[in-house]
């Protein structure tokens, strides 16, 4: 359908949908959209199309998708503050850590920062540390990508490497999650980008969450921490960091859309589906593999449900994910459903359990 939107208004589109600008001028998180370019809005996601000059959109809405208009831009003016602070840092690369509770708009802020930085001709790397709502790489991993071009969302970036943690919340793997982010940051820095944006998870409330975020700061040593604060939930972290690390606090976008637990689960499952597209059942002899943890292989495995696994090549090269479908202890063989065609040298057993439709059943108990 055709949607005409006047200038200085924002068209909010909730997916699944596709949007094509047929005339006029509009932008998404600072990305100026080209006429005739079609943008896909994923299920469970919302994109704000801010109109700079009266625009006509061709919009296709999927099941349960919707759109609405609102006056002005949904990008807070405070978002310019971290951008100014980032560009003012003289050293390169600049490491920026973004924190905030779930659905506060951290990914949207990262997208806005990416677009404004690449517009300045900068090379930007994004390290995604949100295990449960990963935009770069499959859920249960910490992954990174780099770009010198604008984007409409982080999901559009191409995964370059990842660290398989095996759970969808750092609560279940505090130390491993910190280790994963530290390892991926070290690898990213070797590529010498101008800026590294670290998008973190939404676990910010409580003493353990505070210790986790402090551990991340100590491990990553960011030059700047940017906090998206809805009320005063980041106050303990702000006090804990004190004057050791510069922190800029911004308000969330007015276009925020809170997601239910079911929607968040559906988004995770979309990442599994994306990285298991055209997957086949592969047979791997245990004698030719390093398996982590050593006692992680179950004695038997029901094919209808299986553990999510991470597959690695030589060194730390992440090949992709798979689902452990069959364990044959007699023949010392694992059968894994995966889209990875290369022969792995290491398999890391996770705790996420998926059924034959790649839907989450539960996370295995430690």
Q: What is the pLDDT of residues 216-252, one digit of tens each?
A: 999 999 999 999 999 999 999 999 998 888 999 999 9
Of 267, 274, 310, residue with least CA distance to 102: 267
CA 17/CA 325 separation, integer angstroms = 34
CB count within 10 Å of CB 335 equals 19
Residue 294 pLDDT exceeds 90: no
Contact 362, 353 (CB under 8 A): yes
Sign of CA dihedral 292, 293, 299, 300: negative
Q: What is the mean pLDDT of residues 27-39?
A: 95
pLDDT at 163: 98
pTM (predicted TM-score)? 0.94
Is residue 257 scored above 80 in pLDDT? no
Better-scored residue on pLDDT, 27 or 242: 27
Give the separation between CA 25 and CA 185, rounded to whole angstroms: 37
User: In angstroms, what CA-CA distances link 240 with 97, 221, 246, 289?
Assistant: 15, 15, 12, 43
| pLDDT, mean of residues 144-150 | 96
Question: Is the pLDDT reported for residue 134 higher than 70?
Answer: yes
What confidence score (pLDDT) does residue 98 get? 98
Q: What angle do CA 45, 49, 54 make, to 5 degrees?
A: 155
- Reported confidence tier of residue 101, pLDDT bands at 50, 70, 90: very high
The pLDDT of residue 366: 43
Overall average pLDDT of the 26-48 stretch: 94
Report the pLDDT averaged over residues 196-218: 96
**Tens digits of per-residue pLDDT, 334-346?**
999 999 999 999 9
Identify the pLDDT of residue 363.
60
Domain annotation for the chain: domains and CATH numbers: 2-71 (2.60.120.1030), 77-250 (3.40.50.300), 276-363 (2.40.30.330)
The Cα–Cα gap between 225 and 98 comes to 6
Query: Long-range contacts: 82-86, Cβ < 8 Å, 24+?
Result: 82/109, 82/113, 82/224, 82/226, 82/248, 82/250, 83/112, 83/113, 83/116, 83/117, 85/224, 85/246, 85/248, 86/113, 86/117, 86/195, 86/224
Mean pLDDT of the chain: 94
d(CA 86, CA 90) in angstroms, rounded, equals: 9
pLDDT digits (tens, 9 = 90+) for 42-72: 988 999 999 999 999 999 999 999 999 999 9
Mean pLDDT of 81-105: 95
What does DSSP assign to residue 36?
T
Inter-CA distances, 303 with 102, 115, 281, 336, Å: 34, 44, 11, 10
Q: Using 50, 70 and 90 to split pLDDT, how confident is the model at 364?
A: low
3-state SS, residue 282: strand
User: Among all chains, which residue has been given the structure tokens 């469970």?
Assistant: 44
Q: Which helix (H) or strand (E) element contains residue 215?
A: helix 207-220
Q: How many residues does the chain have?
A: 366
DSSP string, 54-77: EEEEEEEE-TT-EEEEEES-SS-G
245 vs 302: which has the higher pLDDT: 245
Q: Which residues pair with 28 in a beta bridge?
A: 31
pLDDT surpassing 80 at residue 303: no
Q: What span, in angstroms and rounded, lies between the C-alpha atoms of 322 and 339?
A: 7
Rounded Cα–Cα distance for residues 13 and 60 (Å) = 10
Q: Which of 95-104, 231-240, 257-266 has the lowest mean pLDDT?
A: 257-266
Q: Which residue has the higher pLDDT, 295 or 281?
A: 281
Q: Which helix (H) or strand (E) holds 308?
A: strand 305-312
Determine the 3-state secondary structure of 17 from DSSP.
Answer: strand
- Neighbouring CB atoms inside 10 A of 271's CB total 21
Render pLDDT for 315-338 as a digit per residue (tens, 0 to 9): 889 999 999 999 998 899 999 999
Whether 81 shows a pLDDT value over 70: the answer reads yes
């Amino acid at each position: 359908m055709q949607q005409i939107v006047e200038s200085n208004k924002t068209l909010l589109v909730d997916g699944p949908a596709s949007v094509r600008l047929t005339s006029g001028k509009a932008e998404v998180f600072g990305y100026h959209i080209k006429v005739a370019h079609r943008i896909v809005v994923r299920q469970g996601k919302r994109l704000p199309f801010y109109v700079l000059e009266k625009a006509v959109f061709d919009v296709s809405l999927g099941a349960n998708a919707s759109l609405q208009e609102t006056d002005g831009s949904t990008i807070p003016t405070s978002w310019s503050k971290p951008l100014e602070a980032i560009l003012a840092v003289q050293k390169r690369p600049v490491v920026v850590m973004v924190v905030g509770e779930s659905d506060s708009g951290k990914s949207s802020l990262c997208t806005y920062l990416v677009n404004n930085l690449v517009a300045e001709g900068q090379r930007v790397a994004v390290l995604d540390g949100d295990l449960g709502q990963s935009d770069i790489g499959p859920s249960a991993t910490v992954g990174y990508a780099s770009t010198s071009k604008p984007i409409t969302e982080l999901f559009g970036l191409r995964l370059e490497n990842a660290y398989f943690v095996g759970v969808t919340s750092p609560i279940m793997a505090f130390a491993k999650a910190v280790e994963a982010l530290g390892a991926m940051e070290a690898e990213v820095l070797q590529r010498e980008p101008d800026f590294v944006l670290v998008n973190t998870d939404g676990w910010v409330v409580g003493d353990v969450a505070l210790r986790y975020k402090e551990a991340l700061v100590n491990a990553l040593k960011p030059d700047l921490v940017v906090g998206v604060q809805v009320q005063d939930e980041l106050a303990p972290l702000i006090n804990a960091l004190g004057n050791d690390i510069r922190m800029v606090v911004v308000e969330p976008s007015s276009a925020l859309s809170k997601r239910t637990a079911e929607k968040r689960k559906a988004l995770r499952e979309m990442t599994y589906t994306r990285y298991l597209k055209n997957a086949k059942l592969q047979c791997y002899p245990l004698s030719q593999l390093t398996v982590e943890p050593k006692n992680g292989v179950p004695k038997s495995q029901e094919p209808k449900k299986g553990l999510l696994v991470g597959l690695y090549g030589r060194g730390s090269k992440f090949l992709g994910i798979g689902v452990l479908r069959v364990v044959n202890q007699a023949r010392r063989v694992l059968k894994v459903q995966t889209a990875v065609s290369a022969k792995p040298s290491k398999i890391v057993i996770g705790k996420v359990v998926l059924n034959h439709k790649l839907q989450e059943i539960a996370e295995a108990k430690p």
